[in-house]
Chain A
Amino acid sequence: MLILDCPNCGKRNASEFRYGGEVHPRPPAAQQLSEAEWAHYLYMRPNQQGVQSEWWYHRAGCGLWFLAERHTYTGQVTRTWLPENPKSDD
């Protein structure tokens, strides 16, 4: 079972976490998007074979959402980190 390095808690078994999907930022001006563009945001993901940035949630631990870089074919996680400046679209 994969070991994930939670930026808060350190290395823990993957069963403590929940996969949160590929990094897929919410468009800031959603109201100006066409139907097709909005549907694309909701339902389409690159889903590439290779290294992707993705979210993980420390469900059975500290409750932190953090990022990981993982190769979708080999499964190897190269790094985990906290997003630096969380975007606020106030």
Chain B
Amino acid sequence: MTDSTERLAPQAGEAIDRSRSFEFTFEGRTYTAHPGDTIASALAAAGVRVFSRSFKYHRPRGLLCGAGHCPNCLVQIGDEPNVRSCQRPAEEGMAVKAQNAWPSLDFDLLSLTKYFSALMPVGFYYKTFIRPRFLWPLYEKVLRRAAGLGKVDPHSHGEGFSKEFLHAEVVVVGGGPTGISAALAAAGQGARVLLCEEQAALGGHLRFWGAQEALPGLLAELAGQPRIQVLTGTMVTGWYADHWLSAVQGKRLYKIRARSVVAATGAYEQPLLFAGNDLPGVMLGGAVLRLLRLYGVKPGHRAVVVAGDAQGWEVAQALRSAGVEVGAVLSGDGRDGAEGFEVLRGYAVAQAEGGRRLRRVVLADGQGGRRRLECDLLVLGGNWAPAADLAYMAGCRAEYDADRGEYRFAQMRPGFFAAGRVNGVPGIEGQRLDGQRAGLEAAGYLGLGSGPVAGLAEELRQLGPTPARAWVPPASGEGKNFVCLCEDVTDTDVQTAVAEGYESPELLKRYSTISMGPCQGKMCGINALHLCARARGLSMRQAVRTTARPPTVPVSLGNLAGQHLEPVQHTPIHQWHLDHGARMMGAGLWMRPEHYGDAAAEVRAVRQGVGLIDVSTLGKMQFTGPGVGALLEKLYVNPWRRLGVGRARYGVMCNDEGVVIDDGVGARLGEEEWYLTTTSSGAAGVFELVQWWMQAGWGKGAHLADLTEAFAAFNLAGPQSRAVLQRLTTLDLGNGAFPYMHARQGEVAGVSCRLMRLGFTGELSYEIHCPSGYGLHLWEALMEAGKAFGIAPFGVEAQRVLRLEKAHIIVGQDTDALADALSVGLEGVVKLDKPDFLGKRSLMRVAGAGSQQRLTGFRMMRPGLVPEEGLQIVGRRGGKLEIIGWITSSRFSPTLGEAIGLCWLPSGLAGRSGAEFSIFREGELLEARVHLGAFYDPAGEKVRG
């Protein structure tokens, strides 16, 4: 077990509870931690310096930012890859592993790629691994192993993810002093506020530097505010239209509707560019202060500090207090050495040297003078970039302020406000005032209060602007100078890419992959822009930033997927189907019986006796009113208007291209009462379309009710169906009293029903519709009445065979988005001389010009050979095979004892009964011949019986 040799004495305000401790492992070794430690802080306390290996060159990487922005501390825990160990709390028994290193973190063979780095410049994969092509499978295997970070477990179930909706009048993003002030100001005007803070505790940077004494007072003001809801550990990941926000808290995804947003998101510390800038031991100021003050960890033993601003000096002092030797402080801001440090003015870091960790830095004074200092910690301070991604997503515009050395907002989106450091306001006083200003503005935008008083802007002005910070250009030294740590993109790579013509930041980003890694540009975006501008001789104002898009941080797919909730729809007969051995299948959202064990037997039962199928999933439309006939006349290709009361017919609906979109049966139940069905999967679409035309003016005098779920429906089919039905009703079912293509209403088994006689299956059959609540009773009554006749329930599969034996189409199976009604073979249904209907104009063209392809039937020449649906039909042209059609439906017919189906063929061929053609299947040709019309009972006697 490794000792925590770098743990300091207790620090005021630290986040750890030293009274308890526990153990966890990293790379198989055991470490101790206290509650409140992150994985990284506990490891750092034990002197661990190397946390990961970089993406491309497998360079050793150590803690850099401490804020969850950079990729250096990513580890794998179980099946969860890419865990930020500087953010994730350590837990007892946790088994943490390194990523992207083999065989081990300390000894990674893949780091040998560094010797081939000349062969792997920026964009190399666009130019290599192309020939020889037979090696592609090998390239892919090797590259897949080498590329990527972390391992995904394909068997992981991703459990425990949840989703919650929130509403707020003002959402404040960021719980530092600015955000807290904004929330208090807005709530003070009566707004309901949601305050989201990324870290586990409020306070932002005040938790570990700056005016830390101000924090308790702020938190006290916040406590017990009824109008402010606080979410910690919650990262706002995206801004969407009308102030819709996404936020992630562990395994929960929040979807938030705000009426206004205040971004108090602070700024990202930026690394400097010099050779060796990615060595473990090079850290940003915030990382050092977090380790010292939140976790009581000594980050090194001998430090050199680059102090660009007040924070840098605070780092130097804090290090000294912790017993770290501070070799020198590089300063540009004029403080002298009275503080007891050796201050070097005018020097910049030229190079960091070391193998697996920092050993010394080389400083240059710009005039050829150099100094070498031994150290194991180099602190980079004073370079910041506003964390404005969310604001950019919301459409706020920023311009580069060359005097201040950072981007400043030029135009905000209405309802979106920015305050504090992200708005260029440094220092606790300014941040409190600016937060207040934004909170009052947000409230005022909502009509609460009258906005900030005039004096507030004046106070802010008097505090002065952000101190100016010029960008530090990259130093010239020996070795790699990393701009993008996530993707291992160097300064040279950027210059090469620009020289190759990838000049715009958007192109440069995509070609070099700079800013496309886990940090998404937080650490590198601004530096990359500077380098790009410099390489092209442009000013920063001329370089256009790449577009900011959600999410602001990498989000687990599990968060976005949420729980496994898949709604299904059941008919009233669902349980009965299960109890009787049905194998269920999904048909859209519906569950339907595919068969009850033997589909062929079900087909035989219907043909020879009687069968019952549950068709409750059909769409059902009830039309009433004097205008219905005229409406239906326009919606369908066939006539409806003059259909007599008590009559029924098959209807086909096309779009204005003449393409078949749905079919069904319809009955006129009364002078002004019509009842039409649609296909199960087409129901919603047809309903929508009918609504459209009714509202567009065709619906005068017509009303529509959707009875799809209100009614159950069954098809009782077979020669014995009349006999079965007669046992349950007093309706006269004689062929004269209730003929084919008629509809009746009456009681069946005591239930008020509507019945229609049509012939999808090709047998004498009755489609019976009743209110869903009585569905199961009616079904069971029919099954009971049919017992003496050997009734069998039949499923979707048997129905498919039965209808195929009659060459009846299924919309969506035999038709597609190009199949017009005439080419499908529905000439008998289309009435072109109606004055107008959907599809008429296009169908007139087809009628005149003829179809190029037609849907027709076929039979296989060899018995027992059933070709798969979708197989291509081929013909010969000039000695070569070409595709001339394909199979849409194909089954073995138990009734006929042979394989039959429907297919598309060129018109001439499709119309020749008995013509032979070939089906292509895996290099073989299967022979078939054209069959026109129904395969079974072509005269249609059975349905009319």
- Tell me if chain B binds chain A: yes
Partner of A1, one of B242, B695, B697, B842: B242
The tally of residues in A whose CB lies under 8 Å from a CB in B reads 29
Determine the distance from Cα of A88 to Cα of B688 in the docked complex, in whole angstroms. 18
B322 to chain A, nearest CB (A): 49
Of chain B, the residue at the smallest CB distance from A90 is: B630
A56 to chain B, nearest CB (A): 11
Partner of B697, one of A3, A18, A74, A89: A89
Q: Are A1 and B692 in contact (CB under 8 A)?
A: no
Interface assignment of A75: CB less than 8 Å from any CB of chain B? yes
Partner of A31, one of B240, B697, B841: B841
A57-90 with Cβ < 8 A to chain B:
57, 59, 63-65, 74-75, 83, 86-90
Partner of A30, one of B244, B697, B836: B836
Q: Are A2 and B696 in contact (CB under 8 A)?
A: no
B839 to chain A, nearest CB (A): 10
Interface assignment of B656: CB less than 8 Å from any CB of chain A? yes
Q: Are A38 and B697 in contact (CB under 8 A)?
A: no
Contact mask for chain B residues 820-850; partner A; CB cutoff 8 A; 1 contact, 0 none: 0000000000000000100011101100000
The answer to whether A63 and B691 touch (CB under 8 A), given A1-B242, A31-B841, is: yes
Q: Are B695 and A2 in contact (CB under 8 A)?
A: no
Q: Are A57 and B688 in contact (CB under 8 A)?
A: yes
Of chain A, the residue at the smallest CB distance from B255 is: A1
Of chain B, the residue at the smallest CB distance from A32 is: B841
Q: Within 8 Å CB of B656, what residues of A?
A: 26, 41-42
B412 to chain A, nearest CB (A): 15
Interface assignment of A9: CB less than 8 Å from any CB of chain B? no
Of chain A, the residue at the smallest CB distance from B699 is: A86
Determine the distance from Cα of A55 to Cα of B691 in the docked complex, in whole angstroms. 13
Q: Are A2 and B697 in contact (CB under 8 A)?
A: no
Interface assignment of A20: CB less than 8 Å from any CB of chain B? yes
Q: Are A64 and B695 in contact (CB under 8 A)?
A: yes
B237-276 with Cβ < 8 A to chain A:
240-242, 244, 257
Determine the distance from Cα of A20 to Cα of B688 in the docked complex, in whole angstroms. 10
Q: Within 8 Å CB of B242, what residues of A?
A: 1-3
Partner of A65, one of B241, B630, B695, B698: B695
Interface assignment of B657: CB less than 8 Å from any CB of chain A? yes
Q: Are B841 and A38 in contact (CB under 8 A)?
A: yes
Q: Within 8 Å CB of B257, what residues of A?
A: 13
Q: Are B696 and A31 in contact (CB under 8 A)?
A: no
Interface assignment of B700: CB less than 8 Å from any CB of chain A? yes
Q: Within 8 Å CB of A31, what residues of B?
A: 836, 840-841, 844
Q: Are B244 and A1 in contact (CB under 8 A)?
A: yes
Q: Are A86 and B841 in contact (CB under 8 A)?
A: no
Q: Are A42 and B657 in contact (CB under 8 A)?
A: yes
Q: Within 8 Å CB of A38, what residues of B?
A: 841-842, 845
Q: Within 8 Å CB of B844, what residues of A?
A: 31
Q: Are B691 and A2 in contact (CB under 8 A)?
A: no
Partner of B688, one of A1, A14, A59: A59
Q: Are A30 and B840 in contact (CB under 8 A)?
A: yes
B672-708 with Cβ < 8 A to chain A:
687-688, 691-692, 695-698, 700
The answer to whether A57 and B691 touch (CB under 8 A), given A30-B840, A31-B844, is: yes
Q: Are A65 and B697 in contact (CB under 8 A)?
A: no
Q: Are B657 and A86 in contact (CB under 8 A)?
A: no
Q: Are A35 and B696 in contact (CB under 8 A)?
A: no
Q: Within 8 Å CB of A1, what residues of B?
A: 240-242, 244
Q: Are B695 and A33 in contact (CB under 8 A)?
A: no
Q: Within 8 Å CB of B395, what residues of A?
A: 74
17 contacts between A and B (CB under 8 A): A1-B241, A1-B242, A1-B244, A3-B242, A30-B836, A31-B836, A35-B845, A42-B656, A57-B691, A57-B692, A63-B687, A63-B691, A65-B695, A75-B241, A86-B696, A86-B697, A90-B700
